Chain A
């Protein structure tokens, strides 16, 4: 249901073609005011903002290009995000295990691309297989030490591989499966836009009012004020961007706000737990001002699957 022609005539996608640049312009104006109006030192935020100026068009372009590019893009993002996780945790030194997880991630992508082989599911995407991929991927991961006849230190490697696959490959992979939805443009554009905006809101509110640390042992910079600010923004956003899912009732809009507000922070914090235990600040230095790819997509890890199942519970997804 996604292709460049459909995208051009889709009112939701066309609306986001305005919403995203306008938001970026507002953000830029605020930063410019801070920089030149109030003479504040905001070099690091500028860097973050400049990266957004590149990432946002790429994201829109991939969604514009259609279903297959979207799923392929999500799969590639998952592979590179997992690679960062593997390099930070030391799992990357074991290429067999890394390869097993890569295979799992690609399988998630293929399950999103396929149709049900006997046509029992409507539309594209093989949902039954998609939800069952972890069984096969974890079996493959457990099979690696057996195949290589090794035991020492394998529990750690298997655990890291399973966590990496389930978090980054499968849960994040739900974003790709959403490309099969009837309302794919609305769902995809909304949850990516809203999740990243709630990230920005958490940062902004945290910087302005932050006093009480949210989870001092996990991420010393995150504050209750920031988290509440993000939830407030996420609760308002579904109403502002209601055109993304015109068929949603009040209950669904509320749930959407909660999922983005709480799920986004949960994803962020859960990756922070991993980073904190490993003892690294960022997962990589791929995106200037943001850290690694994983640092950018971590908020979507919970939002994508929870939103998909919420929407799928109330309405036929495909």
Chain B
């Protein structure tokens, strides 16, 4: 009789916390369930408390791999972008989160790994490793990456310069890039404030673009980063007209 082959989970020899910290995480029914319930609660809360609305939702087509880029001035930004996605896509949508901030303390790790499904992004050292991890993820069809190319929350509400890494990720690849602008999240929950205020938050989804014809050299990737920033600012001007 042939021996059975047991396909054990890869994180069998890890403790619970290590399993959450590890990436890619093994799929887990309980985590998926909690994440879906959490998403429903967050969606209800955004709608009720922040009168959340999405403009240009039809631009967000999630049937293929996708990178969503947006301005960043609040923790609400990630939640808003996740709320724009269909529920079944949540488990393959990975917001890049600073590993030095979200993956250290246990409560933050819990929220990042279980509720948000965050991807630990090392923003100070090993940036290249994190970028190649993103590339691997995007190779799976249907992956959605949520990236804030500013690298941190803006303290003024203004959109900062975009880092060139975003260009390196999408240049010369057939991946849709969707620029988004989130309005009101700075007033609602700025950096340093403990709890959010009941202010209106609006998400504007731009038309998707593709950089497959661009080179992956230094000049082009920085140009892509600048173009994406302009696309986001353009959305912010469009926002003024609503």
Contact = CB atoms under 8 A, between A and B. Distances in A.
B7 A93 contact: yes
B14 A156 contact: no
Contacts of B4: 156, 277
A79 to B, nearest CB: 9
A88 B13 contact: no
Interface in B1-35: 4-9, 12-16, 26, 29
A87 B16 contact: no
Contacts of A282: 13
Instruction: Please tell me the size bucket of the interface on B.
Output: 10 to 19
Interface string B139-170: 00000000000000000000000000000000
Given A95-B29, A98-B29, A279 B16 contact: no
Contacts of A281: 13
Contacts of B12: 87-88, 280, 284
A88 B9 contact: yes
A224 interface: no
A285 B6 contact: no
Which of B5, B7, B9 is the most central at the interface, judged by chain A CB atoms within 10 Å of its CB?
B9
Interface residues of A, number: 20
Given A95-B29, A98-B29, A285 B15 contact: yes
A312 interface: no
Nearest to B4: A156
A90 B29 contact: no
B8 A285 contact: no
Contacts of A131: none
A108 B156 CA distance: 58
A288 B17 CA distance: 12
B8 A89 contact: yes
Interface string A88-119: 11101101001100000000000000000000
A102 to B, nearest CB: 8
B6 A279 contact: yes
A278 B29 contact: no
A286 interface: yes
A213 B4 CA distance: 27
Contact of A278 (B8, B13, B14): B8
Interface in A141-164: 156
Contacts of B29: 95, 98-99
A87 B8 contact: yes
B103 to A, nearest CB: 19
Contacts of B15: 285-286, 288
Contact of B8 (A90, A156, A286, A288): A90
Nearest to A98: B29
Contacts of A279: 6, 8
Given A88-B8, A90-B8, A156-B4, 19 more contacts: A87-B9, A87-B12, A88-B6, A89-B6, A90-B6, A90-B7, A90-B9, A95-B29, A98-B29, A277-B4, A277-B6, A278-B8, A279-B6, A279-B8, A280-B13, A284-B12, A285-B13, A286-B15, A288-B15
5 contacts: A87-B9, A98-B29, A277-B6, A279-B8, A285-B16
The 5 closest A-B pairs by CB, nearest first: A90-B7, A87-B9, A285-B15, A278-B6, A90-B6
